[in-house]
Amino acid sequence: MNHLAIIFVLLAGTSWASSGITVQSFFQHSTRTPMELTNIRMILSSILIFIVAWRYGNLKKNFRILNRWRGLWIELILYGIVGIMLMQFTYFASIESG
């Protein structure tokens, strides 16, 4: 069995649990809503992804690929809104209500 895979699984579970505890504490000591936290998290992660892509020189290449196949823009936007944003929002909303 690959020991690195086991370490990554344990790290992922620990990170998921600690983020839940951190968000719960954040909601107890703040007046922010789950939607505000979701928006902030999505904006910051988008900026980070753009910086990494720009740093490694893949940003222009990635935009060229997206512009070549226009349907990818629609898929990317739907995945971002329906897949990621709603998942993050429901995660934060469930922590707030719990």
Note the pLDDT tens digit of each residue in 22-40.
999 999 998 999 999 999 9
Q: What angle do CA 8, 34, 16 make, to 5 degrees?
A: 15
Nearest to 91 by CA among 4, 16, 11: 16
Whether the predicted pLDDT of 1 surpasses 70: no
- pLDDT, mean of residues 2-9: 91
Measured in residues, the chain has a length of 98
Whether the predicted pLDDT of 81 surpasses 90: no
Cβ neighbours of 52 (radius 10 Å): 11
pTM equals 0.73
- pLDDT, mean of residues 78-89: 88
**Structure tokens that stand for 60 in this block:** 């222009």
Whether the predicted pLDDT of 2 surpasses 90: no
- Cα separation, 19 vs 21, whole angstroms: 5
